[in-house]
Amino acid sequence: MTISEVRRKPLRRDAQARYDRLVAAARAEFAARGMDASLEKIARDAGVAIGTLYRHFPTRLGLLLAAFEPRLREFLSEAEKALQIEDPWEGFAGYLENLFRLQAGDRGFNDFLSRRFPGNAETESIHDRMCQQIEDVLTRAQEAGSARADITRADIVNLIWFNGRMIDATSATVPNAWRRQLHIMLDAYRAERAHPLPEPAMTDEQLYNAMVQLNANDQSR
């Protein structure tokens, strides 16, 4: 399933211009500040009243999806290409490299990857598709004997969380530090490096609940 197009009636030229300015301002502010960026500042940067923002986007999530759509399309498209790479390990490593590259360039996208939004069909569909892509590139590498058999998609989502914290700490001083850590982790994921792990992998339900809780914790701050 692809990301749905924004469903709205055609706008007059002046209204379309305000809409476009809002999306551009949101894209920049979410990238710099994360998903919880100030909507008031976005409206000011777009040169419109806050009421105009809410007329176009009654919910923060609607504005987020409009702002993230190009990046989400890029990510999902590149993930599909990773499945076409002849060497399954190279496909898996390339998938993670692209994922973390997009994470590093956009705090809002990083936040979106890390959380779940129960009750919103569109975000649930996007996250389900992302999880399936993780499963597909990982399983392909495991079946080829390249990736250790006990790694699960929950382990990859945990890696997304770890990488997000690292990006927060290093983006201003060492913006590419994440690549070193990713490749260290890739070595740990190789089948020939496997050794017994002290804890079981998170279940799908535990992973989902953790992503929901992360969003709830951030919203309560």
pLDDT in tens, 130-188: 999 999 999 999 999 999 999 999 999 999 888 888 888 888 899 899 999 999 999 99
For residue 214, pLDDT beyond 80: no
Arithmetic mean of pLDDT over the chain:
88
- Distance separating alpha carbons of residues 126 and 218, to the nearest angstrom: 21
On the question of pLDDT at 218 being above 70, the answer is no
State the Cα–Cα distance between residues 111 and 107, nearest whole angstrom. 6
Identify the pLDDT of residue 86: 96
Least confident of 92-96, 164-168, 183-187, 215-219: 215-219
Q: Which of 204, 7, 175 is nearest to 107 (CA)?
A: 175
* Domains of the chain, first to last: 8-58 (1.10.10.60), 68-219 (1.10.357.10)
Given a contact cutoff of 8 angstroms between Cβ atoms, the answer to whether 108 and 68 are in contact is yes
Whether the per-residue pLDDT at 212 is higher than 90: the answer is no
Give the mean pLDDT of 87-106: 92
> What burial class does residue 150 get, using C-beta atoms within 10 Å of its C-beta: 0-12 exposed, 13-18 middle, 19+ buried?
middle
pLDDT score recorded for residue 111? 86
Closest CA to 53 of 37, 72, 69: 37
